Every structure is written in structure tokens, then in C-alpha cells.
């Protein structure tokens, strides 16, 4: 390993900031098999349990490492722990329900070695999930954690590459006030962090031509969850001090979906109303 030289000098670590131990167990063998001598680290943001310790042993047996943090401190806290403990690394943060692809990992590594400080791939739904509920169009994909199949992407936390030395040099970390913890669905700590990195001159590389599968839990495709997610999106935009532009962005996402126009307009009202309630609650 090298010190804090140019970005291309850093080793890469795949960091799984996890909450669901069953997802870790389901995905770790596949994900480790997609790497090329990269470090694989899991931080489980949960209390200690026999199940968690058993999965940790399995991860270690496959060449990775896993630590049970002992409490639910939130996603931002887990990510900040990785930034602090790997200060001269290329870090590929992934969620516990992401299934990596070797080509995508290679592209992330190449982007870092070419000088990128932040990078990310397209996040797509599993190929087995073909039929979506009536109340889900591509206008709601961002609430689930998927990019649209075509077009531009943004770097999202489910698959987000960060040069930790650049972040450390500028004193940047993830905002705890936006951290998803327990039953809350706060969000935006990832895009806010990327925005700060870019403000300080970080070079961004978007890898929309490669994809990883975001195999989300089935409950995320239920109307109740999506309305909660839209509600918390509103609360998050207030905390990010972007209430008006954030609300406009949400409305644009819903109404610009390419599906049937009348359905997109109906869902704009439904989800936009939930977001507005979140804004009102946070104020």
C-alpha cells in the first residue's frame, strides 16, 4: 500500500455499510468474487447477535472482513468510519442489497487510476423483476434506488466511489443530520457529500455505461413504503436547505416519466403531495 500520493496510487476497498445481516449473507460471496485483490469490508450497523457473528465468520473465511458495530448509529456514521479508517484509499461504498459486476468494478478502479475523485455506476433492477405495480413508473425509480435504463445518471450511495485522501484533505464527511437511522427514511447524505467534494474541485467520472444490480427488498415496491419515502424526501430537502429546488426536482422526476402521460400526472400529484407533507412537517 502507498501513502497519500496521487489518486492513482491508492488501493481500493469495497465498503458495505449494512443494516440487514440477511442481505450481507446473501450477497457477500458473489460480491467478493467480482473483485481483483481489492479489500472487502462490511460494517454492520446493528447490535451484536449470534446471527451477525456467524455471518461475520463466513465473510472472513472468504477473505473479507466484517465488524458488527453494536448499535444503530446510521448510514452516515458508518460511512464516516470507513473514511476515517481508510484515509488514503479509493473507497467503493455499496449498500447491502447491491450485487456487483466485475466489469463495473474494473471501470470504477480505472476511473480512479485515471484521476477521478468521485465516481459511480448505473443502478438497475434485477432482470427477474419485469412487471412493476401500477403506482411505479420510472419517475419513482429514485425513491427505490434505481437509475433509469438510459440517460444521464447521478452518483448515489448504493454504488459510490470516493477518494478518501481528497475528502480528508478538505475535512469532508457525511452529514449525520441526513443519515438514515432506525425507522426514519432521511436521505441525501450521499449527493450532498458528492456536491461538497465537487465544490472543492473533485473530479467526477460518471459510469452510466456499466451497471450493478440493486436487488431491493420487496417492501420497497409497496405503495405505503413509497409514500413514506416521498414524505421523508421532503423532510430531507428541508434539512439540506434546498426546499424549493428540491420540491421542483421531485415534481419533475414524477411528471417527466416516459410512461402513459395520465398516469405520470396522477402519480405526480400523489407523490408530490407526500413530499409536500414532509416539507411541512420538517418546518
pLDDT in single tens digits along all 283 residues of the chain: 333 445 567 899 999 999 999 999 999 999 999 999 999 999 999 999 999 999 999 999 999 999 999 999 999 999 999 999 999 999 999 999 999 999 999 999 999 999 999 999 999 999 999 899 999 999 999 999 999 999 999 999 999 999 999 999 999 999 999 988 766 799 999 999 999 999 999 999 999 999 999 999 999 999 999 999 999 999 999 999 999 999 999 999 999 998 888 999 999 999 999 999 999 999 8
- Cell numbers 473465511 correspond to what residue? 61
First to last CA, the chain: 48
In degrees and rounded to multiples of 5, residue 121 shows phi and psi of -105, 175
Strands 39-44 and 98-99, how do they pair? unpaired
Adjacent-strand bridge partners of 42: 16, 66
- Cα 229 to the center of its chain, rounded Å: 15
pTM of the shown model: 0.94
How many CB atoms sit inside 10 A of residue 228's CB? 17
Strand partners, 204: 118
Closest among 200, 203, 201 to 155, alpha carbons compared:
203
CA distances from 105 to 10, 61, 140 (A): 15, 22, 26
Q: What is the pLDDT of residue 258?
A: 86
Report the pLDDT value the prediction gives residue 261, as an integer from 0 to 100.
87
What pLDDT does residue 3 have? Answer: 39
pLDDT at 192: 97
Cell of residue 271, nine digits: 407523490
**SS3 readout for the chain:** CCCCCCHHHCCEEEEEEECCHHHHHHHHHHHHHCCCCCEEEEEECCCCCHHHHHHHHHHHHCCCEEEECCCCCCHHHHHHHHHHHCCCCEEEEECCCEECCHHHHHHHHHHHHCCCCEEEEEEECCCCCCCCCCCCCHHHHHHHCCCCCCCCCCCCCCEEEEEHHHHHHCCCCCCHHHCCCCCCCCCCHHHHHHHHHHHCCCCEEEEEEEEEEECCCHHHHCHHHHHHHHHHHHHHHHHCCCHHHHHHHHHHHHHCCCCCHHHHHHHHHHHHHHHHHHHHHHC
What pLDDT was estimated at residue 123?
A: 98
Amino acid at each position: 500500500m502507498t501513502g497519500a500520493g496521487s489518486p492513482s496510487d491508492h488501493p481500493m476497498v469495497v465498503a458495505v455499510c449494512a443494516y440487514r445481516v440477511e442481505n450481507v449473507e446473501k450477497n457477500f460471496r458473489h460480491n467478493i468474487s467480482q473483485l481483483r485483490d481489492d479489500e472487502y469490508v462490511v460494517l454492520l450497523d446493528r447490535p451484536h447477535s449470534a446471527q451477525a457473528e456467524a455471518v461475520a465468520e463466513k465473510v472472513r473465511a472468504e477473505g473479507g472482513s466484517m465488524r458488527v458495530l453494536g448499535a444503530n448509529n446510521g448510514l452516515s456514521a458508518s460511512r464516516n468510519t470507513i473514511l476515517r479508517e481508510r484515509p488514503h484509499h479509493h473507497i467503493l461504498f455499496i449498500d447491502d442489497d447491491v450485487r456487483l459486476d466485475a466489469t463495473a468494478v474494473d471501470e470504477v478502479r480505472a476511473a480512479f487510476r485515471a484521476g477521478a475523485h468521485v465516481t459511480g455506476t448505473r443502478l438497475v433492477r434485477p432482470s427477474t423483476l419485469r412487471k412493476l405495480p401500477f403506482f411505479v413508473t420510472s419517475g419513482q425509480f429514485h425513491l427505490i434506488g434505481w437509475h433509469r435504463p438510459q440517460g444521464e445518471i447521478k452518483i448515489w450511495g448504493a454504488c459510490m466511489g470516493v477518494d478518501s485522501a481528497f475528502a480528508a484533505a478538505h475535512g469532508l464527511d457525511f452529514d449525520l443530520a441526513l443519515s438514515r437511522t432506525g425507522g426514519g427514511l432521511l436521505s441525501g447524505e450521499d449527493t450532498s457529500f458528492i456536491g461538497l467534494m465537487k465544490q472543492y474541485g473533485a473530479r467526477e467520472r460518471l459510469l452510466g455505461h456499466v451497471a450493478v444490480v440493486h436487488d431491493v427488498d420487496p417492501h420497497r415496491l409497496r405503495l405505503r413504503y413509497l409514500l413514506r419515502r416521498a414524505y421523508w424526501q421532503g423532510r430531507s430537502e428541508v434539512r439540506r436547505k434546498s426546499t424549493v429546488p428540491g420540491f421542483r426536482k421531485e415534481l419533475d422526476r414524477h411528471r417527466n416519466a416516459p410512461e402513459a402521460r395520465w398516469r405520470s400526472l396522477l402519480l405526480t400529484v400523489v407523490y408530490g403531495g407526500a413530499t409536500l407533507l414532509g416539507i411541512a412537517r420538517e418546518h
